[in-house]
Amino acid sequence: MSFHLYDSMRREKVPFEPLIPGKVAMYNCGPTVYSAAHIGNFRSFLFADVLRRWLEVSGYEVTQVMNITDVGHLRDDDPEQGADKMEEAAKKEQLDPWKIAEKYTALFFEDLDTLRIQRAHQYPRATDHIPQMIEQIQQLLDSGHAYEASGAVYYDVSSFPAYGRLSGNTGDDLIAGARVAVAEEKKDPRDFALWKSDPHHLMQWDSPFGRGFPGWHIECSAMSQSILGETLDLHTGGEDNVFPHHECEIAQAEGATGKPFVRHWMHARHLMLDGGKMSKSLGNLYTIGQLAEMGHDPVAVRFALLRVQYRQVLNFTLPGLEEAATAVRRLRLFATDMEEAAAGAEPGDPPAWLTAAVQRFDESMDDDLNTSGALDGVFTLMNEANRRKVTGPDAAAALAALRRMDRVLDVVREDAPEDLDAEVEDLVRRRTEARAAKDWATADEIRDRLAELGIELLDGKDGKVRWRRTGAGAS
RNA sequence: GGCGGCAUGGCCAAGUGGUAAGGCAACGGAUUGCAAAUCCGUCACCCCCGGUUCGAAUCCGGGUGCCGCCUCCA
What integer pLDDT is reported at residue A423 of this predicted model? 84
What integer pLDDT is reported at residue A80 of this predicted model? 42
**3-state DSSP call for residue A53?**
helix
User: Is A229 exposed, middle or buried, given 0-12, 13-18 or 19+ CB atoms closer than 10 A?
Assistant: middle
Determine the Cα angle at A309 with ends A401 and A106, to 5°. 90
**Which nucleotides in chain B have some atom under 7 angstroms from a protein Cβ?**
1-6, 11-15, 21-25, 31-41, 67-74
- The DSSP letter of residue A69 is B
- Residues of A 153-172 whose CB lies less than 7 Å from any atom of strand B: 167-170
A389 CA to B58 C1', in Å?
36
What integer pLDDT is reported at residue A87 of this predicted model? 77
What integer pLDDT is reported at residue A278 of this predicted model? 81
SS3 readout for A337-389: HHHHHHCCCCCCCCCHHHHHHHHHHHHHHHECCCHHHHHHHHHHHHHHHHHHC
User: What b/e string do you get for A290-318 counting C-beta neighbours within 10 Å, with b at 16 or more?
Assistant: ebeeeebbbbbbbbbbbbbbbbeebebee
Q: What is the CA radius of gyration of chain A?
A: 26
A12 CA to B13 C1', in Å?
22
Q: Where are the alpha helices (DSSP H) in A143-283?
A: 171-177, 218-228, 247-257
Nucleic acid strand B within 7 Å of A406 CB:
no
What integer pLDDT is reported at residue A15 of this predicted model? 94
What integer pLDDT is reported at residue A77 of this predicted model? 41
- Helix (H) or strand (E) run with residue A266 in it: strand A262-268
Q: Judge: domain A276-409, CATH 3.40.50.1820.
A: no
What integer pLDDT is reported at residue A301 of this predicted model? 96
Question: What is the complex's ipTM, to 2 decimals?
Answer: 0.94
CATH T-level topology, domain A19-268 = Rossmann fold (3.40.50)
What integer pLDDT is reported at residue A201 of this predicted model? 83
Contact predicate A257/A230, CB 8 Å: yes
Q: pLDDT tens, A230-240?
A: 999 999 999 98
Specify which residues A154 forms β-bridges with: A147, A193
Q: pLDDT tens, A39-52?
A: 999 999 999 999 99
What integer pLDDT is reported at residue A229 of this predicted model? 96
> What φ, ψ does residue A276 adopt, rounded to 5°?
-130, 170
Nucleic acid strand B within 7 Å of A245 CB:
yes
What integer pLDDT is reported at residue A200 of this predicted model? 81
A177 CA to B73 C1', in Å?
18
Domain ranges, ordered by start, for chain A: 19-268, 276-409, 422-469
Q: Which stretches in chain A have pLDDT values below 50?
A: 74-81, 173, 175-181, 472-475
